[in-house]
Structure 1
Amino acid sequence: MASFIIEGGRRLTGEIVPQGAKNEALQVICATLLTSEPVRIKNIPDISDVNNQIRLLEDVGVKVTRNAPGDFTFQADEVNMEYVQSDEFLARCTKLRGSVMLIGPMIARFGRAMVAKPGGDKIGRRRLDTHFLGIQKLGAKFDYDIRRGVYDIHAGRLCGTYMLLDEASVTGTANIIMASVLAMGTTTIYNAACEPYIQQLCHLLNRMGANISGIASNLLTIVGVDSLHGAAHTVLPDMIEVGSFIGMAAMVGDGISIKNVSYDNLGIIPYTFSRLGVQVLRHGDDLFIPRHDHYEIDSFLDGSFMTLSDAPWPGLTPDLLSVLLVVATQAKGTVLIHQKMFESRLFFVDKLIDMGAQIILCDPHRAVVVGHDHQIRLRGGRMTSPDIRAGIALLIAAMSADGTSRISNIEQIDRGYENIESRLTALGACIKRVEE
């Protein structure tokens, strides 16, 4: 276990470049299982969740070549399906949520997949029904081994069909897309997730020889092909990290440039920060966040106070609500943060209340933040990171606070943010990693 020791009150300035997108990387890495030919992927972030996914593929027999930092070639020409059925493999899957996206490509290409309940953030119930129901509609059979707690999934060649997803699950959509590209006939997926990372997965698969149309909409049409071939792909910048840096710059920045953000793929994120009074200036594909000694939360046109809530793309990603909540603690005004998708993601606010923030946790999904308008500074303290996004939000809070803070369980932050303490130290932060 490791901790961050943070000296608060340091002003940050300079330039920072966002890493490759974690969620996209996990999807496209799994897609390499769909062909025996080499697939080269660039801008892969060096973070624990992605690195563990790569090691998992290596262990099942995928050849992985590291061409340069963040640049890998994958070749799945000798996959060991016996290992996929082993207790060792399944035990590792329980510690890595991204492992669930192995189901689609494995059942499509090899006719067999096994899955135990995957790990990941402890942010509430994250069901797999959408994955299972979609793949079942394509013709796969699911057998549950109650002794091992494992689903054994098997099929001949899958058959295309129409399906209406019960929810626009991002990983569920990715899994079903990967299962469908080699299915016989046409698959139509309605209520599909359409995040930029799903779009990127579809573009990669089309370069590999798939036939996917309707990309960027919630209605995908996939005409199955007999086989896929190699291709090259570059992962987008991580929109969640871009949003985290906007929030950090608003709280403790003296003028920060965020470089190469792929602005057109940020969606509503810059606008949402502007609703909190944060200036987000665009310069081409870069963002500049000036120093904010004061920022004021908008109200709705009828005068009621602002509500920020998550929604499927192109709505606001739930992964940024923790950061937005922290930014609101030093704004002028009041905002309701409504986390609709996960019932445990707001439970970190008690740590902010201990730091002096004025927050009312209404229920597991809603919190009212009354901003201090910089009249009352947060206080440093001891805290523990419960998940990736709460972890970065607590780090931002600690950087803005008076005094010294200690954040434990920073392995959670490492799962999503590459070498974060060194990158922020280069901007003027004082963050030290210590082993406990």
Structure 2
Amino acid sequence: MGTFIIEGGHTLHGEITPQGAKNEALQILCAVLLTPEEVTIHNIPDIVDVNKLIDLLDSLGVNVNKLGKGSYTFQADAVNLDFLESEQFKIDGRGLRGSIMLVGPLLARFGRGYIPKPGGDKIGRRRLDTHFEGFMKLGAQFRYNSEEHFYGVESDKLKGTYMLLDEASVTGTANIVMAAVLAEGTTTIYNAACEPYLQQLCKMLNRMGAQISGIGSNLLVIEGVTELGGTEHRMLPDMIEIGSWIGLAAMTRSELTIKDVSWDDLGQIPAVFRKLGIQLERREDDIFIPKHSEGYEIQNYIDGSILTIADAPWPGLTPDLLSIILVMATQAKGEVVIHQKMFESRLFFVDKLIDMGAKIILCDPHRATVIGHNFRSTLKATTMVSPDIRAGVSLLIAALSAKGTSTIHNIEQIDRGYEDIDTRLRAIGANIIRQ
């Protein structure tokens, strides 16, 4: 189990460039299975979860060729379907939440897709019903081995249909879209997710020959085609990492420039940070964050009531940033309620922040009230264990702002979502050592 040793209290300075989007990568990489032709993808993040998925594709018989940093070609012209029922696949697929998105492309192109119950963050229940109900509406037969927790769908030919999703699941929508592009007839998906990553997937599929309309809305219409071809695609910068660096700059009262952020795809993120009192300046496609020497003050609502920051489907705020926002609020001037609607275990890391001196009241599994110190009292260094990707980087930000030397164990969780994070932080002045 790896460890970070962090000496907090240092002011940072310089530029940092966000990695490619993790959540987009897990969709885009699975889409290469939809065609026997070569697909070239750029800006792929070099992180544990994505590398696991690339290894899975390689084990499936996809020809994987690394062109350079972040750039690969994939050609799925000799897929080994027998691997799907091997013991090795059951082990490898179980260790990655994103493996669920292999099912839609495999079902669409080969008539069958299998997956063990996926792993991932321990942040609460993450059901798969939306995925499989969508496949069944397209005509697939569903089976489940309860002893091995092994899911399967099979179909001789998928048929387009109308469906109203029970939740606007990003991964569920992506999986169903990838299945529907090769289905016979028209598929209409209402209450579809419309996050930028899903938009990116749909645009890529259209370049491959799919016919998807309504991109960016919650109503997608897909005219099935008989085959797809190759394409070239570049991933967006990771909006969660961008939000993490904004939080880092605020907590350490540092002047930072975040490069090439794709402003037009950030949605509510800049506005939410401004509500927390953070000054953000747009410089072409960069974010400049000045040094907040006097701190930052949380805005109340216009009637004077306490601000609530809550997650919501796009174009609302992504739930992955609430952990970062909660940590930032511990040193703000004012109070805020953090309402994590989606996952009932994601706020349970706040006990570590309370140990560091933060004033947080955990109201229930979904809500926490944070009373900011306004930097009158710094957080105190401590020893922590990273419980998941987003809580892990939030604790890292807290440690970088704290007085003294902190230790974070289980940093493999952070590595699952953040590329070479310690090297990149040292480049802007952080005192962090990996052991």
Who is 1:300 aligned against? Answer: 301
Following TM superposition, by how much is the alpha carbon of 1:426 offset from its aligned partner in structure 2, in angstroms? 0.5
How many equivalent pairs are there? 434
| 1:104 and 2:127 correspond | no
| 1:369 and 2:359 correspond | no
The whole-number CA distance in structure 2 between the counterparts of 1:344 and 1:146 is 25
Matches within 5 A, 1:167-246: 167-246=167-246
The amino acid of 2:212's aligned partner reads I
Who is 1:344 aligned against? Answer: 345
Following TM superposition, by how much is the alpha carbon of 1:78 offset from its aligned partner in structure 2, in angstroms? 0.4
The amino acid of 1:378's aligned partner reads L
Which structure 1 segments of 5+ residues have no match? none
Deviates more, 1:245-254 or 1:192-201: 245-254
The amino acid of 1:417's aligned partner reads Y
The whole-number CA distance in structure 2 between the counterparts of 1:427 and 1:67 is 28
| 1:84 and 2:116 correspond | no
Aligned residue for 2:299, secondary structure, equals coil
Following TM superposition, by how much is the alpha carbon of 1:284 offset from its aligned partner in structure 2, in angstroms? 1.0
Aligned residue for 1:330, secondary structure, equals coil
The amino acid of 1:194's aligned partner reads C
The amino acid of 2:95's aligned partner reads K
- Ranges of 4+ aligned residues in structure 1 off by more than 3 Å: none
What's the Cα RMSD here? Answer: 0.6
The whole-number CA distance in structure 1 between the counterparts of 2:426 and 2:253 is 13
Q: Kindly provide the CA deviation profile for residues 7-44 of structure 1, in whole angstroms up to 9, marking residues without a partner as x.
A: 00010000000000000011000000000000000000
The whole-number CA distance in structure 2 between the counterparts of 1:152 and 1:133 is 12
Aligned residue for 1:287, secondary structure, equals strand
Q: Kindly provide the CA deviation profile for residues 327-354 of structure 1, in whole angstroms up to 9, marking residues without a partner as x.
A: 0000000000000000000000000000
The amino acid of 1:223's aligned partner reads E
Deviates more, 1:146-155 or 1:187-196: 146-155
The whole-number CA distance in structure 2 between the counterparts of 1:84 and 1:195 is 30
The amino acid of 2:262's aligned partner reads S
Following TM superposition, by how much is the alpha carbon of 1:363 offset from its aligned partner in structure 2, in angstroms? 0.5
Q: Kindly provide the CA deviation profile for residues 393-423 of structure 1, in whole angstroms up to 9, marking residues without a partner as x.
A: 0000000000000000000000000000000
Following TM superposition, by how much is the alpha carbon of 1:145 offset from its aligned partner in structure 2, in angstroms? 2.1
The whole-number CA distance in structure 2 between the counterparts of 1:232 and 1:106 is 20
The whole-number CA distance in structure 1 between the counterparts of 2:142 and 2:371 is 49
The whole-number CA distance in structure 1 between the counterparts of 2:234 and 2:144 is 37
Percentage of identical aligned residues: 65
The answer as to whether partners of 2:183 and 2:224 remain within 8 angstroms in 1 is yes
The whole-number CA distance in structure 2 between the counterparts of 1:85 and 1:324 is 42
Who is 1:276 aligned against? Answer: 276
The whole-number CA distance in structure 1 between the counterparts of 2:22 and 2:73 is 17
The amino acid of 2:302's aligned partner reads L
Who is 1:379 aligned against? Answer: 380
Matches within 5 A, 1:310-329: 310-329=311-330
The whole-number CA distance in structure 2 between the counterparts of 1:232 and 1:271 is 33
The amino acid of 2:140's aligned partner reads A
Who is 1:122 aligned against? Answer: 122
The whole-number CA distance in structure 2 between the counterparts of 1:408 and 1:380 is 14
Q: Kindly provide the CA deviation profile for residues 279-303 of structure 1, in whole angstroms up to 9, marking residues without a partner as x.
A: 0111110000011121100000111
Who is 1:392 aligned against? Answer: 393
The answer as to whether partners of 1:328 and 1:370 remain within 8 angstroms in 2 is yes
The answer as to whether partners of 2:169 and 2:193 remain within 8 angstroms in 1 is yes
The whole-number CA distance in structure 1 between the counterparts of 2:411 and 2:401 is 18
Aligned residue for 2:151, secondary structure, equals strand
The answer as to whether partners of 1:42 and 1:72 remain within 8 angstroms in 2 is yes
The whole-number CA distance in structure 2 between the counterparts of 1:147 and 1:429 is 48
Aligned residue for 1:203, secondary structure, equals helix
Following TM superposition, by how much is the alpha carbon of 1:253 offset from its aligned partner in structure 2, in angstroms? 4.0
Following TM superposition, by how much is the alpha carbon of 1:252 offset from its aligned partner in structure 2, in angstroms? 1.0
The answer as to whether partners of 2:135 and 2:153 remain within 8 angstroms in 1 is no
Who is 2:38 aligned against? Answer: 38
Who is 1:61 aligned against? Answer: 61
The whole-number CA distance in structure 1 between the counterparts of 2:148 and 2:321 is 36
Which structure 2 segments of 5+ residues have no match? none
Aligned residue for 1:418, secondary structure, equals coil
The amino acid of 1:332's aligned partner reads K
The answer as to whether partners of 2:163 and 2:188 remain within 8 angstroms in 1 is yes
Aligned residue for 1:406, secondary structure, equals strand
The answer as to whether partners of 1:13 and 1:253 remain within 8 angstroms in 2 is no
Who is 1:353 aligned against? Answer: 354
Who is 1:267 aligned against? Answer: 267
Following TM superposition, by how much is the alpha carbon of 1:151 offset from its aligned partner in structure 2, in angstroms? 1.8
The whole-number CA distance in structure 2 between the counterparts of 1:248 and 1:148 is 42
The amino acid of 1:365's aligned partner reads H
Q: Kindly provide the CA deviation profile for residues 47-105 of structure 1, in whole angstroms up to 9, marking residues without a partner as x.
A: 00000000000001000000111000000000000011112102211110010000100
The amino acid of 1:92's aligned partner reads D
The answer as to whether partners of 1:43 and 1:235 remain within 8 angstroms in 2 is yes
Q: Kindly provide the CA deviation profile for residues 171-198 of structure 1, in whole angstroms up to 9, marking residues without a partner as x.
A: 0000000000000000000000000000
The whole-number CA distance in structure 1 between the counterparts of 2:144 and 2:357 is 49
The amino acid of 1:197's aligned partner reads Y
The whole-number CA distance in structure 2 between the counterparts of 1:146 and 1:278 is 49
Following TM superposition, by how much is the alpha carbon of 1:431 offset from its aligned partner in structure 2, in angstroms? 0.5
